[in-house]
Structure 1
Amino acid sequence: MRFPKTLLPAVLLAAIAAAAGRPVTAELPPPPAFTADELHHRYETGGWPGRQFLALSRTGDGQAIEVVGDLATARTIIVYVPGSGQSLSSFDSSFEGPGRAARALHREATTIAPGVAVIGWLGYDPPDLINPEILTIWPAERGASRLRTFVRALPARARVSLVCHSYGSVVCGQAAPGLPVDDLVVTGSPGMGVRTAGQLRTPARVWAGLGRRDDVFRAGVRIGPLGFGTDPASPGFGARVFDGGTATHGGYLKPGSPTLKRITRIAVTGTTG
């Protein structure tokens, strides 16, 4: 999520009007029972042959939820939540696109432990990079409601981690209170909508990484619906900070990169070592 600071005053004024009138996209169907038969049926009717989609909508910018791995037997489930500008057309086209990211995380996870499934969750409508609403909490609140419903439906037997990039970290921050997850990992975050990790009211370990070449815009404050609060990678926030290396804003999950390895290990084991 990049934004030129010189345009901030004008955009803040426009954001309220733009966001208030923005249509809300239709929700995807609820997840099925997580049995082998039910999942197989959903994949067969998912609308993308050869891939495991729990849901797929081509309306508007599109939404989709894809599974990589065996979700029916998974002992660890990683849910990847993408950020601003992501859509069905970019699902596989960048390192941070939900489909490509899920496959990268899964490939790395198989080198750490068996029984891991990864879900690329584009179950909300991320704000476009040129839409003033990108500076508000409103899209995140809508997305958080859907993310909470989805995560709470996951099998109780599994360890669950959220990996949230850019504006997706705002979504995860709004969804976090009381959500049954073990680890919450944010990268390239503009903020999570709060001042401290304690205000997330989550049982999860909260992790944050910021690459030295990441130019994500971080206002550092939240005033009503505008802004996203404290940088989660800053010392005062209270997250477990991990090394973001030299990652650019879109490069945290680049295959073979140290950041991909760190993020995946945290999501699978809850540790960096």
Structure 2
Amino acid sequence: MIRYADATVANVCALVDAEKPAWRTDAQTRTAAIVAAGAFSKGAPSWSDIKAIFMRLQSNKCAFCEFPLGGEFAGKATQDVEHFRPKNEVKAWPNKAKKPPYTFNTGGTGSGYYWLAYDLSNYAAACKACNTARKSNYFPIAGVRGAAANTAVELNAVEQPYLVFPLGEADEDPESLITFAGLVALPAHDADGHAHRRGRITIDFFALNQREELWEDRFRTIYALFDAVEITKTNANPNRVEIARRRIEDMTSIAGAQAACARSFLRLIDADPQKAWDYYVAAEEFITDNRKKRAPKLG
């Protein structure tokens, strides 16, 4: 997970106004009706109408797991507009089927953030594995649920959410909370505290260390990154070196498929090349073993 700094509320509003001029006015009307009723009810406008704006701001990657989801032609079918704070009743997390060993409170249930249903600061584009299968109507917090009509900034202060919102600059930088050891996502803070717990719960919540598609994606990233760095160090052809440098810049940019993993691995290559090599070897063995396990059994 990385921060998409260009996805500020001001930028999003400007893009929405340019592409869907009536959307925000219609959203205000709809929100007034929802607030008056004290509960969410579906109606115009559709947040799907502005999905492509968030897709572009996120370089067509899931906001939470960074998995590439295609461009606007195919991506609309594989990405959802995610309501960071659920618009309907909030369910307790972990639920009965998922019980990580937490010794601290994660917020319980709530009536839902219906007044944020059409708030652009509450949206992101997410893959179905993160949104439909995992995010759903969960929203774990360390504090107490905020009151109706509170803004996102006000809610953050009282709720102390565990999940990280990667768009704009209203929340912490995800990379200050989550780092990587090879393919493995880890909390960036060792000492137990809110920052450590945010990293740990975000990793657990989105199953960032359990999903095969993410293992494969990260492995392709560190494989290509290690190769490109070696070229910059050992190749005598300046043209090849320049191409390798551009590859490194691309992989660690916002558009990189697994930019957070790539940036972490690049820092490790610089700080401890041997450890980076050991992680690379371990990652290759892990991926190879898992591919064998998943291979179809014939005969």
**TM-score exceeds 0.5:** no
**Is the helix fraction higher in 1 or 2?**
2
For the pair shown, the structure with the greater C-alpha radius of gyration is 2
Q: Is the strand fraction higher in 1 or 2?
A: 1
The normalised TM-score by structure 2 is: 0.28
* TM-score for both structures, normalised by structure 1: 0.30
